[in-house]
Amino acid sequence: MGAFRIRHCCSLVPILVLICTAVLALLHEMLRTPQLDWAIPETVWNLPCAANTKEGRVPDDETGTACVRPGLEFRADQTFKMVQFADLHFGEDARKDEATQRAMRTVLRREAPVDLVVLSGDMVSGFAWSRSLTPRWFETRWRHVTAPMERAGVPYASVLGNHDAEADAAALRIGRLAHESSRLCLTPFPGLFGRRSNRAHYYLEVCSSVQGESSEEVSSENISNRSVDDDGSTQNRECLNRGVGARIWMMDSGNRGCQGASPKASWGCVESGDVQVIRALTTPGQDNNLTQEKKKEPAPNSHWEELPEEIRGKGPLHNAPSLAFVHIPPPEFLDVWDHTLANGSKGEHVCCPRANSGLVSAFREGGVSAIYSGHDHNNDYIGMLPGEPAMRLAYGRKSGYGSYGPGMGALVGARVILLREGQNPAFSDTWIRLESGRVERQTRRVPMSNKLIPQVECAS
């Protein structure tokens, strides 16, 4: 009997060790994060573009829920300032997270007023998640990520990076969480929150300023380009009688694997099926009505059937100056460095997808004239893609203390983009605001010290 009791007690030892480890880890976490900001639950922005009226309600998901959140608009001086925080990588270490928040607060304070913050992926280091010890890990880190914007009263939007969905929240759960917390009216891709999609693509629209396009100045042509519904309202009710001054595309490039390539061989991309939807929405003059013949024999990878009826039946989105954010840079980022006078730093290989899904060409043909990326922490260069029409490709500056970079002795910071109403976003003023408060204008080219020859293919 005594031997049985000893064996029974010994069998409990591993369980007790696990319990003690969990308790110690929890205490350790609590003691190491006393200075981290947490998201403030109620913040009201002075962005009155979306009125709380029937005309101001915008369906913000597939359920048709009315969106009465504040909208985005150009200021009275016809400017709209954006801050891109790239690769924050929260969740590795509490002290690093605190330093990252400090840098974010400095940027927002020195650039005030800021109209929109874009979190361009890898907001957290999902690989740092411990399944057994930290429940609701992503949601906790998300509150840390968004706290500086909440405290400053600045609206924010995000795209997913390859590390964001590696923890305890899947991509669509993160998309929902980001959508609910940012309190912005976004327009999701068809199926974004449904069963047929696992990518969080959407776009935001910035209303024209009062001076730029008041309700009295809106022409009948502009109204028709906004797809008038049967009840007389326009497709973009948020900017009713104001006009869309700019459109911001937010694209999910996934994790690894592109166009059927092995995840071990390629980084992720915006797949060609979603690129076809972009073409359907942005190609000027394209007839989105399907003939019976096309319905019987759809094109390969066609997403026509996923397009909402109001888009399929009334044509593409009206033209507006447009830019895009995507975490993993498309392959064309190689061309910008190798074949143009790009400025900024190339401190590592461009880690882009081995296959080209056509995202850049689709955007270029559809009037999107600037694409901003992240992912490669030691790169922050900016340049114009060869060819016409004009198109800018640019990295953000590594903004967080987690993971590695920025390289070559650089300070963390953020890219600032100043849109001017009516200006082509390919030529928007942009600069790097550093954590020190100093501005870096990127007037010179800084290549990798050990790799001066052109990079001929994407690094895997």
**The two structure tokens encoding residue 196:** 């047929």
Q: What is the pLDDT of residues 427-450, one digit of tens each?
A: 999 999 999 999 999 999 888 765
Q: What pLDDT shows up at residue 43?
A: 35
Q: What is the pLDDT of residues 54-108, one digit of tens each?
A: 333 333 333 334 444 567 999 999 999 999 999 999 999 999 999 999 999 999 9
Nearest to 324 by CA among 398, 386, 247, 414: 247
Q: Which residues lie closer than 8 Å to 34 by C-beta, 6 or more apart?
A: none
Q: What pLDDT shows up at residue 319?
A: 85
Residue 392: beta bridge partners?
370, 384
**The two structure tokens encoding residue 251:** 């694209």
Helix ranges restricted to H, 33-88: none
Q: What pLDDT shows up at residue 289?
A: 38
Q: What pLDDT shows up at residue 23?
A: 67
| CB atoms inside a 10 Å sphere around CB 409 | 6
What burial class does residue 223 get, using C-beta atoms within 10 Å of its C-beta: 0-12 exposed, 13-18 middle, 19+ buried? middle
Q: What pLDDT shows up at residue 318?
A: 77
**The two structure tokens encoding residue 255:** 């994790």
Nearest to 353 by CA among 251, 271, 276: 271
Nearest to 381 by CA among 328, 458, 443: 443
Q: What pLDDT shows up at residue 296?
A: 35
Residue bearing tokens 């959508």:
179
| The model scores a pTM over 0.85 | no
Q: What pLDDT shows up at residue 314?
A: 46
What are φ and ψ of residue 220, in 5° steps? Answer: -65, -30
Which residues in the chain show pLDDT less than 70?
Answer: 1-14, 17-18, 22-35, 37-70, 131-133, 182-183, 186, 188-197, 210-238, 240-241, 284-316, 449-453
